[in-house]
Amino acid sequence: MDGVSLSSSHPLFKEIDKLTMEQLSYAKAGVEEGVWQLFADEGEMKMYKRDLEIDGMVCDPLKAVHSIKGVTAREYLHYFFDSSYKLDWDTTLDNMRVVEHLASDTAVIHQVHKRVWPAAQRESLFWSHFRKVNSYKDPDASDLYIVCNHDCERPDVALSNKACLRVGLTIAMVCQTVIKRPQSKVQFSELSREDIGCKIIYVAQVNPGGWAPNSVLRVVYKREYPKFLKRFTQYVEQKVKNKPIMF
Ligand code: 6CM
């Protein structure tokens, strides 16, 4: 999947292009000491957060780095982007639907999340864009893909119920395939899953969109983000097992 399928004349193109590239730089910028606090450290998976409140609401930025074996960047992000799998792996969801397929690499998605007591139920409405950006890959990587999600407005998508609040979100997952055998000496077709790995960076900032107790929100995020990344990774590992490698 080289190039961008979304037409440059689409009204959302400029915003999608700008935000996707900004999130890519932000994700790759690392975690400065004294700025990011490590809150989950499980094997290769490390998760960091910063404390940030906007208008009194917790909007803590999150950054996670992970590294797994046997999966390519394209495969990992295929399962993250493709909405037909979301209900399998996203345990925060009550339901979801694709509002519009804007192109093969871009969709608008509406999700209704499970209610967390005592706060009101949340929903999200966002564009989701999948892109290959090899010019930004690390020297040891053979490719780089990103999925970027950001909230949007659609007059044709009403709140699912009046008590629901719509969250704001900017989320990106950046993945790079690492090949363990010298690339100059090997064709992709000769590689097995033992020869490949994937470096993952996930960044997220969610605005709760209205009242929620700050302490509960922080507890929920600390529990849910590691749960999500571990569960999603296991899901992908299971899905690719015994399938031909997709680069
Ligand atoms: O990135 C994740 N999921 C993607 C699914 O396609 C997508 C998600 C967007 C929405 C994220 C909003 C999460 C809101 C969760 C409910 C908030 C409850 C409020 C509690 C009040 C006390 O990018 C994985 C997202 C994992 C989130 C933990």
Walking along the chain (247 residues) 10 residues at a time, the average pLDDT comes out as 91 98 97 94 98 96 98 98 98 97 98 95 98 97 97 96 96 97 78 96 98 94 98 98 95
CA-closest residue to ligand 1 atom 6: 86
CB burial of 143-153 (b: ≥16 within 10 Å; e: otherwise) equals: bbbbbbbbbbe
pLDDT at 184: 66
Tell whether ligand 1 has an atom less than 6 A from the beta carbon of residue 217: yes
Q: Outline where the chain has alpha helix (H).
A: 13-28, 73-81, 86-89, 214-240
Tokens of 138: 């690390």
Residue with tokens 């296991």: 234
Closest approach atom of ligand 1 to CA 227: 28
224 CA distance to ligand 1 middle (Å): 8
What is the distance between the alpha carbons of residues 198 and 45, in angstroms, rounded to a whole number? 12
CB of 169 shorter than 6 A to ligand 1: yes
Q: Is 206 in the pocket of ligand 1 (CB under 6 A)?
A: yes
ipTM: 0.96
pLDDT value, residue 66: 98
Cα 192 to averaged position of ligand 1 atoms, centre (Å): 34
Sequence-ordered list of residues with C-beta below 8 angstroms from that of 190, at least 6 positions apart, any chain? none
pLDDT for 55 equals 94
Query: Which domains can be identified in the chain, with CATH numbers?
Result: 13-88+131-152+167-240 (3.30.530.20)
